[in-house]
Amino acid sequence: MPTSFTVVPVEGQEPQPSRPPEEPSQQLAECSSGESGDGIPKESSPFINSAEMDRRNIYEGKNMALFEEEMDSNPMVSSLLNKIANYTNLTQGVVEHEADEDSKRKEIKAPRMGTFIGVYLPCLQNILGVILFLRLTWIVGTSGVLESFIIVFMCCACTMLTAISMSAIATNGVVPAGGSYYMISRSLGPEFGGAVGLCFYLGTTFAGAMYILGTIEILLTYISPNAAIFKAEDADGETEAMLNNMRVYGTCIIALMAIVVFVGVKYVNKLALVFLSCVILSIFAIYAGVIKTAFDPPDFPICLLGNRTLSRHNFDICAKFIEVNNETVTTKLWSLFCDSPSLSATCDEYFNLNNVTEIQGIPGIASGVLIDNLWSAYTDKGSIVEKKGHPSVTGTEETKVGGLPYVFTDIMTYFTMLVGIYFPSVTGIMAGSNRSGDLRDAQKSIPTGTILAISTTSFIYLSCIVLFGACIEGVILRDKFGEAVNGNLVIGMLAWPSPWVIVIGSFFSTCGAGLQSLTGAPRLLQAIARDGIIPFLQVFGHGKANGEPTWALLLTACICEIGILIASLDSVAPILSMFFLMCYMFVNLACAVQTLLCTPNWRPRFKYYHWALSFLGMSLCFALMFICSWYYALIAMLIAGCIYKYIEYRGAEKEWGDGIRGLSLNAARYALLRVEHGPPHTKNWRPQVLVLLNLDSEQVVKHPRLLSFTSQLKAGKGLTIVGSVLQGIYLDKYIEAQKAEENIKSLMGVEKTKGFCQIVVSPSFRDGMSHLIQSAGLGGMTHNTVLMAWPQSWKQTDNPFSWKNFVDTVRETTAAQQALLVAKNIDLFPTNQERFSEGNVDVWWIVHDGGMLMLLPFLLRQHKVWKKCKMRIFTVAQMDDNSIQMKKDLQIFLYHLRLNAEVEVVEMFENDISAFTYEKTLMMEQRSQMLKQMQLSKNEREREIQSVTDESRGSVRRKSYSSPQSIGQDIQALLPNDNPEEEAQLIHDRNTASHSAAIVKCDIAAATPEKVQMTWTKEKFIAEKHKNRETNVTNFKDIFNMKPNQSNVRRMHTAVKLNGVILNKSQHAQLVLLNMPGPPKNKKGDENYMEFLEVLTEGLNRVLLVRGGGREVITIYS
């Protein structure tokens, strides 16, 4: 719908004077040069953060002062519209067709080509070509009018549907150099774009080889047969001699064409109009000849022996003998079939039994020959071209036909092969989109011109099929090289006024098409190379100073030479058909994907498209690939697949907003909604891990082996979230958070850990860990297992991840019904490059918590690091247990679980608690109580400092000025000198000191500058300190007189006993997996819990403490 804009001037505002240059608000960041670090030009854009922004675009008036801070990144609307209006996007390559690459670009004339000149005629020239002149009559004669019509209709329908999809993509924005490659890569992503772009490049290159082969065929067969270098001694060697001539002449012509393209492509572009004129003139000559046959058919007699067509190369009179001076004389034809010219000579049996007749090769459109040409006449290689329905007598004995002047078929013919040979004649529909930068209105011209060109050429092809079948005799149509008509071009015989119009026209047409292919293919390769998605191709992105792709041209000529060495036009045509069909298939796929995704950016001006049409076109392309040649199709798909995987593995990461990424997001959304219905079945359960990492002050991971262990445990399967917490406020720490995320992602790449990274900035580590455990993941893709490292320095109270944080994390994972894995001595765990050649993975199964202990060793042993380790399972038997029966039951259980492991039952008998255990428990409780007293005394000291400063502020007297630093010095003077640790602690409390100094400073500023005197005396302060110290000494005496808690003694006894048993059995194991006891319900014993775990795992190298999530994770059922 039309939209009206009203521009209202704002009056009454004076222009703002220019600000001084030294103001930081006026410093504009320098624009980027438009090239990335690798020298590859970026896509130019007139929008936000464009590299084209310069200083004159800064709005200096007062009208928009509200937005002045955003001017650096967000341009004014007037500036944006001006840039869009002046935005040009010309094809890369030639100086004549692009702007100079200097910083001061010269003014370029606006492109003025319209639909007819810019799109319609180039498409017409590229579509009509060698197949029309050299093979279409043969296709009609071989497959019949009806099947030929089906072949042409399928191919034209394929290109028409592709053109509709291409029009939608081409009108959804500007298409720069690269044409179809650009459209596919920006719609389907760099992997698909690179793979299909290279396939299209190979197709264009082989098309050049096909056009060159067509040029040589016209030259040596119809223009100058005597120019052949290799001559055949007999009829059997003609094909091989022709192929050798093709190779020699083809190599020379491709070298000549490459030199022409290298010297100056502008000459090729200027000659394009001449070549196009030849094509159009030839088409009109064909139609004129058809009209002429209606009232005056041309005289082109064909000689038949029985129903067999004879080649007219070696005789001129179509008769066995003639009357000369009333005497019967044998003809040259007689000599070809008989052993002597005499009438009594021994002749070929078929020659004796059948008469020689002569029929018209072009009987005319009114002759009714169309009925005879409706049906197909497929033959094997080396068969004789025969006229159906003509009288013929076959001999009793089969005679050798080799060496006789018959017209033979050179290849075996069948429907699918003809499709592959014909399809290149409908390619070339991308010519308009490749010239989008030279068009006045590309979004209008490309759809109109391309669809009109396809409609015109489809009409020409379909009408020619009917007209050829209605005008020309079937045996002439099946005569590929015109041997029955003295080596003339079959379609040339039909043309008016002369066959040479078609011969010369087709010769120049194929020459021009070959030059265009050698011009376009290197630029396509250059566009792919400059995108940087395929590293080894980047050398082909460079060229001469004017942008000519020299290296790409050299590679193109070498690949084209491969097609020349094949030397057969009929063999090369299916190869390029594969590559073009694959390209067209992905153009249709791109349009269908974009349409179905309904992305906001999908707004093509061309409205006559539908996803069903694109899907139909894609299916038709895919079907035609296998119809043409199933093995060529598989080879082409294998090449494209290899390129795709290479780009995915080694290529540069590009974010082009492609449809595949949108499709992935839609698929992910759909899958997440499906997963949301409920928890996974036990058979589908696998650890979805949240890895909690610690970072140092430089935001570097402290324990990288934790990620190594994650990759060994996961092997790329399932969900992995790597999280970490930064302490602080996000607005202050967002730069550190970004740096931390980059460091973690880099380390994940090194350790080959496939997953996601999540950084949380929180005022406290405890809250940050809680946020991660609660909110990491999305929908059904949330973690069910938390992996963390054992806090080695948990006894240090100033450690950010202290024992309190650790125990709270254990409690939260239990509350969230998540499994917990704690790796102790994580720095001793193996890297991904290490391999254990022997050893054991020992599982100590104390309590059953869902089977995690059984599943984890199985998953680890899938990785190469742990593959050769054996799995051993230990369980503990009490006094009342039957250890023998327990071992049998456990073996049966493991058999049903399909796990291979050694089983051992360890008996632990009850005995008295040792003095060592009693003493260790007492030391643990004394240490815990001492820590509490030290924490309490620290808090009291902080309160004393605060009371000193509060009292001093209350007794300020206005006598003389004193600086705030003097207050701090007075406070330091009050400190007793007999305890340096307390002095250090008081000095260390900088928050309290700075807070008090700031308040005092404010009070002094408000008052008159007088001396500040404090009423708190040194004696009073020391007396108060001694009072508190006496209280603390009393408390410490109570600590040394305390008795251990019996519950703690029992727990310590269990830890010591179990540790001794584990050390006895598993001290040399490569990894020990152990049930992790739960934390105490009473939080007062948290520090004791850490001591129990320390004692339990003491002396072991690698330990993985495992705590289940409260559900079964392994099952015996299938």
Q: Coil, strand, or helix at residue 710?
A: helix
Residue 775, token pair as written in the block: 């909110």
CB 305 within 8 A of CB 354: yes
CB 247 within 8 A of CB 272: no
- Using a pLDDT cut of 90, give the percent of the chain over it: 23
Main-chain dihedrals φ then ψ at residue 308, nearest 5 degrees: -95, 135
pLDDT over 50 at 320, yes or no = yes
Over range 515-541, report the average pLDDT: 85
pLDDT over 50 at 848, yes or no = yes
Alpha-carbon distance 490 to 482, whole Å? 6
Over range 225-237, report the average pLDDT: 79
Beta-sheet pairing, 840-845 with 819-824: unpaired
pLDDT value for 623: 94
Over range 607-625, report the average pLDDT: 94
CB 466 within 8 A of CB 145: yes
Beta-sheet pairing, 720-727 with 308-309: unpaired
User: Of 336, 289, 314, whose CA–CA distance to 489 is shortest?
Assistant: 289
- Sequence-distant (6+) residues with CB within 8 A of 142 are 376, 377, 378, 379, 413, 418, 477, 478
Over range 139-160, report the average pLDDT: 94
- Got the DSSP string for 545-606? TT---HHHHHHHHHHHHHHHHH--HHHHHHHHHHHHHHHHHHHHHHHHHHHHHT-TT---S-
Residue 615, token pair as written in the block: 């899907």
Measuring CA to CA, how many Å separate 584 from each of 526, 528, 675, 713, 860?
Answer: 21, 18, 36, 43, 46
Cβ-defined contacts of 877-883 (< 8 Å, 24+) = 877/905, 877/906, 877/907, 877/908, 878/908, 878/910, 879/909, 879/910, 883/907
Q: Which residue has the higher pLDDT, 600 or 807?
A: 807
Q: Could you tell me how far CA 130 lies from the centroid of its own chain?
A: 37
Beta bridge partners of 759: 724
Main-chain dihedrals φ then ψ at residue 78, nearest 5 degrees: -65, -40
**Mean pLDDT for the chain?**
77
Residue 751, token pair as written in the block: 């350790």
pLDDT over 90 at 163, yes or no = yes
Q: Could you tell me how far CA 584 lies from the centroid of its own chain?
A: 19
pLDDT in tens, 260-302: 888 877 777 777 788 888 888 999 999 999 999 988 888 888 9
Task: Quote the crossing angle between the two packed helices 238-263 and 190-218, to the nearest 10°.
Answer: 120
pLDDT in tens, 388-402: 888 888 866 566 677
pLDDT over 90 at 102, yes or no = no
Where residue 759 falls among pLDDT bands split at 50, 70, 90?
A: very high
Task: Quote the crossing angle between the two packed helices 803-815 and 765-775, to the nearest 10°.
Answer: 20
CB 908 within 8 A of CB 878: yes
pLDDT value for 1117: 62
pLDDT in tens, 1016-1072: 555 655 655 555 555 554 554 555 555 556 677 777 878 888 888 888 888 889 999
- Got the DSSP string for 233-288? SSGGGHHHHHHHHHHHHHHHHHHHHHHHHHH-HHHHHHHHHHHHHHHHHHHHHHHH
Measuring CA to CA, how many Å separate 913 from each of 715, 916, 1027, 1053?
Answer: 45, 8, 42, 6
Alpha-carbon distance 405 to 320, whole Å? 13
In this predicted structure, which of 72-86, 519-533, 829-843 has the lowest mean pLDDT? 72-86
pLDDT over 80 at 794, yes or no = no
Helices (DSSP H) in 717-793: which residue ranges?
730-750, 765-775
CB atoms under 10 Å from CB of 958, counted, come to 12
Compute the C-alpha angle 1087/924/935, nearest 5°: 55
User: Of 52, 87, 65, 55, whose CA–CA distance to 15 is shortest?
Assistant: 65
Q: Which of 103-107, 178-182, 640-644, 688-692 has the highest mean pLDDT?
A: 688-692
Residue 237, token pair as written in the block: 């060697």
Alpha-carbon distance 203 to 238, whole Å? 29
Alpha-carbon distance 126 to 431, whole Å? 7
Alpha-carbon distance 1105 to 822, whole Å? 5
Amino acid at 1061: V
Q: What is the DSSP letter of 1098?
A: T
Cα torsion 109, 115, 117, 121: sign? positive
Where residue 1012 falls among pLDDT bands split at 50, 70, 90?
A: very low
Alpha-carbon distance 673 to 404, whole Å? 76
Alpha-carbon distance 1041 to 926, whole Å? 9
Cα torsion 619, 622, 625, 631: sign? negative
Percentages helix, strand, coil for the chain, rounded to the nearest 5?
55, 10, 35
Over range 723-735, report the average pLDDT: 92
pLDDT in tens, 337-394: 888 888 888 888 888 888 899 998 899 888 889 998 999 999 998 888 998 888 888 8
Where residue 137 falls among pLDDT bands split at 50, 70, 90?
A: very high
Alpha-carbon distance 784 to 770, whole Å? 14
Q: Which residue has the higher pLDDT, 1109 or 489?
A: 489
Alpha-carbon distance 363 to 298, whole Å? 8
User: Of 579, 458, 487, 549, whose CA–CA distance to 209 is shortest?
Assistant: 579
pLDDT in tens, 388-439: 888 888 866 566 677 788 888 888 999 999 999 999 999 888 877 766 666 7
Alpha-carbon distance 192 to 463, whole Å? 37
Give all strands (DSSP E) within 308-466, no chain letters. Answer: 308-309, 321-324, 327-330, 356-360
